[in-house]
Amino acid sequence: METTNSVQGSGKRSGWSIQASREAQDTINPIRRIVDRMNVPPNPDKELISLSIGDPTVYGNLPPSQAVASAASDAIASGKHNGYCTSFGTSSARASVAEAFSTPGAQYTADDVLLTCGCSGAIDMAITVLANPGQNILIPRPGFSLYRCLGVAKGIDVRTYGLLPEKGWEANLDEMESQIDENTVAIIVNSPSNPCGSVYSRKHLEDIAAVAERNFIPIIADEIYAGIVFSSSEFHPMAAVTDTVPVLTCGGLGKRYLVPGWRMGWILIKDAKGLLGKVCDGLRSISQQILGPCSLIQGALPTIMQETPQEFFDSTIRQFEQAASFCFQQFSKNKALSPVMPSGAMYMMVGINLPMLKGIEDDVRFTELLLSEESVHCLPGQCFEFPDFFRVVLSGPLEQLAIACTRIQDFCNRHASEKA
């Protein structure tokens, strides 16, 4: 059968040639590209411990609040939330998010909120509304792999600015500003951070805002981990530190409320100078592509926002902080490892001192061998564009984390070089 794409004089095709779109072909998640290439089985004699997935529900030790579960159940039972909603969310659901996330310096109304399909959907919409093919955005390095995945698929030039582990993963502001040109349309800022667990001080956020203001560039603030901060830190929303730079804040229920599969996210618009009029219209237009997120969860959202007790959040944070402190202490005992203590979220980045290990050339090989020998699965730093580190997810039960830490220690000792 003819399968070429040749055309006859009529201008019609002469045979079958069905191709995936350019966007589909260019959609490459860096994590999948690296992990799929690893392709190594775990040790069959040891139970697999996965510290690689940023889903706090994986082990079942962190259930959602009963208030959250009841709100969803009541929304279903009411029979009032089975149909289509306004594409950017019902007014009552948007108002509840606006009230919950208003803070001094960033006051919101329902008109400042768009509901999205998860925080990843919010990030997708924020990038789409600001950037055309050929323009560029700035993302953190190390950073959440989805930023690059979305940008490249849309034909956007994705540039990075480094984060400094020796300064608690603060942004390298000089490098950030050096990446900016006339085609830069957004700076993505992530605090609390995936993969670093860093939480930026108000001063550092103000410094980032100053860079954006000098260069007339809006900020996309990824704050899916808003409020998940340890006892030594304080969370400051990006939008609360500036009245001159427009900020699109992306958030959602997933991590703070422990229901990532519910896919409820939002964009909060802070536009004190009235610079985002066309952008706001554009966001509402883009929302019509999927006709909004789940109507049932929208129906439950006001109750979730109002009735989830503070103790639920405090308890979750205590578990993350306890896990972070324990892992930091354990990893610090080994000369081959250089952990960076997080200040929030549910992750820790651990440096690998490669000269202290024999036969291991990089972080990908480290995590491959760790999986095959010890059945502990961590993501290599290259997944986040930061070689010679690996990321640990801190949401599992402490008993599992203790076993994993012991195995990682055994692994490093077994592969220790003469320099160790």
Q: DSSP letter at 46? A: S
Return d(Cα 186, Cα 315) in angstroms, integer.
Answer: 35
- 68 phi/psi in degrees, rounded to 5: -70, -45
Q: How far apart are CA 195 and CA 390, in angstroms?
A: 9
- Please state, as a whole number, how many other Cβ atoms lie within 10 Å of the Cβ of residue 85: 18
- Please, are residues 265 and 250 in contact by the beta-carbon 8 Å criterion? yes
Give the pLDDT confidence score for residue 3 in this predicted structure. Answer: 46
Is the peptide bond between 397 and the residue preceding it cis, with omega within 30 degrees of 0?
A: no
Distance between CA 356 and CA 370 in Å, rounded?
Answer: 15
Dihedral angle computed from the Cα positions of residues 87, 120, 279 and 90, in that order, rounded to the nearest 10 degrees: 30
Q: What is the pLDDT of residue 40?
A: 86
Among 360, 389, 383, smallest CA distance to 372 is for 360
Nearest alpha-carbon partner for 93 in 281, 300, 248, 280: 300
Can you give the pLDDT at residue 291? 87
Q: Which residues of the chain have pLDDT under 70?
A: 1-10, 419-420
- Compute the C-alpha angle 380/151/177, nearest 5°: 85
Contact of 49 with 407, CB cutoff 8 Å: yes
Q: What is the DSSP letter of 183?
A: T
Q: What size, in residues, is the chain? A: 420
Q: What confidence score (pLDDT) does residue 300 get?
A: 97
- Can you tell me which residue has the tokens 């956020």? 205
d(CA 159, CA 22): 21
Give me the pLDDT at residue 32, please.
76
Instruction: Give the pLDDT confidence score for residue 9 in this predicted structure.
Output: 57
Task: Supply the angle between the helices 91-101 and 295-307 in degrees, to the nearest 10.
Answer: 30
DSSP 416: B
What single-letter DSSP state applies at residue 396? Answer: S
What's residue 29's pLDDT?
Answer: 85
Distance separating the N- and C-terminal Cα atoms of the chain:
64
Cβ-contact 311, 197 below 8 angstroms: no
